Amino acid sequence: MSGPGTAGAGRFAAHVRRARQSGSLVVQPRMGFAGARRMREGLRAVRDVAAPTAGTVTVDSYTRVGEYARALEALRSGAELNGFPLVAHGARRTREVLDGVASQDFPVQVRHGSALAGRLVATACAAGADATEGGPVSYCLPYGRVPLRDSVRAWARCCELIAARAEPMHLETFGGGMLGQLCPPSMLVALSVLEALFFREHGVRSLSLSYAQQTHPGQDLEALAALHRLAAERLEGGPDGGPDWHVVLYTFMGVFPRSAAGALRLLEESARLAVRGGAARLVVKTPAEAHRIPTLDENVAALEFAAAVASDERERIRARTRAGLRPAPAGGPYGVYEEAALLVDCVLEQAPTVGEALLRAFATGLLDVPYCLHPDNANRARAVLDPWGVLRWADPGRVPLPPRTRRAVSADAAVGSRQLLDMLGFNERRFDVEDVLGRRLADGAAA
């Protein structure tokens, strides 16, 4: 979905909008290679996938934490890097990577993970990248010990750099992917909306709101509906019509199934969820995730697979519509919208600016990401998975919850270390067990 203020939103947003109008899902990898030639080859291969795609330049770990000299030294010595050292390559070299590959039909996003991203974002802007990703909370709390106040200040400057560029640049909040798993969906939705409001506050006109697939398809579908509803309410009500926006789903970011079949089933579920939930874009993981960094061919294969599944799911929906079957209602029994809306309202009441409101909310525990060890996170809140994979609050700490949710919190739902490890491996076991059962049934039928 896009807001009415789409004119001049930039080619990343325009590409996603065209795909939606044609009934297609944009698929995108998390791909990054150290060498400029290899990175360009990777982008070309993604561009040539027979589906709407967006390119990704994922930076290396040194660049993410501002160790640019170490990234340059590794690049010069040929040492292995786990991504593209954007700052070490510089704007001119990066522009050469993009020239002739990035286009109206294939925009490219820089993905990183940096709390203090000023130099990185400035380089991406100068190089002509179409989009980047991040946020003052979502690129700070999971990745290190940078004070949240410093991250808020740095991301305000990043937003102003992005907003000042002549060709509009797109910015995606990572708020819906906090820690990858075991954060209740309502918190993910609220953080995604709050970071989007922070971006708008600092002049960004084209943005996307993220949500990461969790452990229960029904709850995830409700979370996507809640994210769309809250974004429509909060981003499209201003006198200027609000910014252009869409929703992006990430394939599950936690412990991945170890079997190839199990991993493909998880990827399939994410692609079907993206279509059912109205996401415009899907950031794809590959079956290699449980073992190592995926190759270029594995990235391309995962994109092709996800696009084929999305096409099949759209056809299933059309068939049900032709048969007179109505889609399931967008709401659900998990209370995601009610919890997220209350969270957003309570945070915004803390201060006149979104940035200061975020700081106060974390300082008082009003926002509290379960199991996040950052010093500026209270880390009192806890979440728990029930036997069906529904992610619930075990102890909200000081996080405000609607009366219905708070009544459902069990007083004896303390989470120990063994249970935490079991929860982290839920999707791995779920999809790998399906693979084992499937092979046993096939063997039995053959016998």
* Segment 95-135, tens digit of pLDDT: 999 999 999 999 999 999 999 999 999 999 999 999 999 99
Asked whether the predicted pLDDT for residue 439 surpasses 60, the reply is no
- Which residue, 201, 22, 223, 61, is CA-closest to 144? 61
Question: Could you give the maximum distance between any two Cα atoms of the chain, in Å?
Answer: 70
Q: Which amino acid is at 85?
A: P
How high is the mean pLDDT of the chain?
90
Three-class DSSP category at 146: coil
How would residue 46 be classed by pLDDT, with cut points 50, 70 and 90? very high
Highest mean pLDDT among 188-192, 410-414, 417-421: 188-192
Distance CA 334, CA 390 (A): 9
* Residue in the block written with tokens 């982290």: 424
Residues in the chain: 447
CB 165 within 8 A of CB 125: yes
Beta bridge partners of 211: 249
3-state helix, strand, coil in the chain (%, to 5): 50, 10, 40
Specify the range with the lowest mean pLDDT, choosing from 1-5, 149-153, 421-425: 1-5
Backbone angles phi, psi at 22, to 5 degrees: -90, 0
**pLDDT for residue 416:** 80
Asked whether the predicted pLDDT for residue 2 surpasses 60, the reply is no
- Please state, for a pLDDT cut of 70, what percent of the chain lies above it: 91
**Cβ atoms < 10 Å from Cβ of 315:** 12
Please state the CATH superfamily assignment of the domain spanning residues 11-322 in this structure.
Methylmalonyl-CoA mutase (3.20.20.240)
Distance CA 176, CA 214 (A): 11
Considering the entire predicted model, what is its pTM? 0.93
**pLDDT for residue 19:** 96
CA angle 369, 371, 375 (to 5 degrees): 75
**Cβ atoms < 10 Å from Cβ of 196:** 28
- Which residue, 16, 29, 38, 7, is CA-closest to 105? 16
Specify the range with the lowest mean pLDDT, choosing from 282-296, 357-371, 413-427: 413-427
Look up residue 256 and give its DSSP letter.
Answer: P
Three-class DSSP category at 209: strand
Residue ranges in 36-165 assigned as alpha helix (H): 36-47, 61-64, 68-77, 86-98, 118-127, 148-164
CA angle 179, 180, 185 (to 5 degrees): 95
**pLDDT for residue 238:** 41
Kind of pairing between the strands at 382-385 and 391-395: antiparallel
* Residue in the block written with tokens 């981003």: 235
* Segment 200-251, tens digit of pLDDT: 999 999 999 999 999 999 999 999 999 999 999 999 744 445 568 999 999 9
Asked whether the predicted pLDDT for residue 1 surpasses 70, the reply is no
**pLDDT for residue 207:** 96
- Arithmetic mean of pLDDT, 329-356: 92
Beta bridge partners of 238: none
- Arithmetic mean of pLDDT, 389-403: 93
* Residue in the block written with tokens 């493909």: 264
How would residue 169 be classed by pLDDT, with cut points 50, 70 and 90? very high
CB 313 within 8 A of CB 268: no
How would residue 434 be classed by pLDDT, with cut points 50, 70 and 90? low
Cα separation values, 48 from 24, 54, 324, Å:
16, 11, 37
Specify the range with the lowest mean pLDDT, choosing from 35-39, 152-156, 409-413: 409-413
User: HSE-up of 105 (CA within 13 Å, CB side)?
Assistant: 9
- Which residue, 135, 258, 148, 145, is CA-closest to 199? 135
- Arithmetic mean of pLDDT, 14-27: 96
> End-to-end distance of the chain based on CA atoms, in angstroms?
51
CATH 3.20.20.240 residue spans of the chain: 11-322
Q: Is residue 92 classed exposed, middle or buried when 0-12, 13-18 and 19+ CB atoms within 10 A define those classes? A: exposed
Three-class DSSP category at 158: helix
**pLDDT for residue 198:** 98
CB 153 within 8 A of CB 198: no
* Segment 26-38, tens digit of pLDDT: 999 999 999 999 9
**pLDDT for residue 273:** 98
- Arithmetic mean of pLDDT, 344-358: 98
Asked whether the predicted pLDDT for residue 389 surpasses 80, the reply is yes
Look up residue 335 and give its DSSP letter.
Answer: -
Asked whether the predicted pLDDT for residue 360 surpasses 80, the reply is yes
- For residue 272, the surrounding DSSP H or E stretch is helix 260-276
Three-class DSSP category at 56: strand
**pLDDT for residue 4:** 34
Q: What is the Cα 256 distance to its own chain's centre?
A: 16
- Buried b / exposed e over 214-239, threshold 16 CB at 10 Å, is bbbbebbbbbbbbbbbbbeebbbeee
Torsion angle, alpha carbons of 232, 343, 424, 181, to 10: 30
**Cβ atoms < 10 Å from Cβ of 140:** 28
- Which residue, 256, 282, 287, is CA-closest to 271? 282
